[in-house]
Every structure is written in structure tokens, then in C-alpha cells.
């Protein structure tokens, strides 16, 4: 986690200018979890981030909410439901919001989900 609160050399952005710089996801070998890495612009005010994973037919199969993260580089694990046996191209969407501004950025990526190893 990048945590440079006191560093005067880091430019911090106001809520309306906070953006997703990178979103990456990969499946764990067990086939039941996904590693998610995301990076935001350094921010003045901590945002909220909503992650949604949808299956090949567009149904939501996993989600996570990150409220006021301390840093702008985040790594987390999302779990696929054990009842789900779907495979194929899934979509991960990250939405950055602020209560006072609403959505300020959104990014979606595709991830191939394969059968468990």
C-alpha cells in the first residue's frame, strides 16, 4: 500500500479529479478466487470504490466495497461463489465515488475464468 501522507512531493488530487490509473485481475490456481490490483491517483479526500464482477451472461457473481482506503495502491482477493461453475470471459468493473460528488471514474476489464486446476 502506498502511504505517503507527509510527503510534500506527492501531488494529491481533489475528489473531482481522482482517477483510476490501473486495474488488473488474475485468477488464482484454485479457480475460486481472483486477485485484484488497482491504483488511484493520490487523493486529498479518501473515496469509496465499488468492485463488481459479472459472469459471461452479465449477472453479478461477486462484489466488494472499499470505503475510504488509506492508500492509493490496493490489492485484494475476491471470491467466486462456490455454487458457480461458470467459466469464460468475466467483467470486473471498478467505480470510484464520493458522497458529495457521485461517480468520478469507472473502469472495466475482462478476465478469463478457467476451470479449477
When the candidates are 3.40.980.10, 3.30.70.100, 2.60.40.2550, 3.30.390.10, the CATH number that belongs to 20-113 is 2.60.40.2550
What does the alpha-carbon distance between residue 109 and residue 113 come to, in Å, rounded to a whole number?
A: 13
8-state DSSP, 43: B
Query: What number is the average pLDDT over the span 71-88?
Result: 85
Task: Reply yes or no on whether the pLDDT at 5 is more than 70.
Answer: no
Averaged pLDDT score across all residues of the chain: 90
Query: What number is the average pLDDT over the span 92-103?
Result: 96
Task: Please give the C-alpha separations between residue 28 and each of 23, 31, 43, 62, 76, in angstroms, as whole numbers.
Answer: 16, 6, 30, 15, 12
More confident residue, 86 or 28: 28
More confident residue, 53 or 30: 53
All structural domains of the chain with their residue ranges = 20-113
Contacts (Cβ under 8 Å, ≥6 apart) of 57: none
Amino acid at each position: 500500500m502506498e502511504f505517503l501522507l507527509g510527503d510534500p512531493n506527492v501531488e494529491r488530487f481533489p475528489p473531482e479529479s481522482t482517477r483510476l490509473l490501473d486495474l488488473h485481475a488474475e485468477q488464482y490456481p484454485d479457480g475460486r478466487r481472483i486477485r485484484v490490483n488497482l491504483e488511484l491517483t493520490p487523493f486529498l479526500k479518501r473515496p469509496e470504490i465499488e468492485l463488481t464482477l459479472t459472469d459471461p451472461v452479465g449477472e453479478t457473481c461477486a462484489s466488494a466495497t472499499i470505503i475510504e482506503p488509506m492508500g492509493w495502491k490496493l490489492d485484494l482477493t475476491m471470491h467466486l461463489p462456490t455454487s458457480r461453475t461458470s467459466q469464460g470471459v468475466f467483467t470486473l468493473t471498478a467505480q470510484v465515488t464520493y458522497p458529495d460528488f457521485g461517480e468520478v471514474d469507472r473502469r472495466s476489464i475482462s478476465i478469463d475464468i478457467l476451470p479449477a486446476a
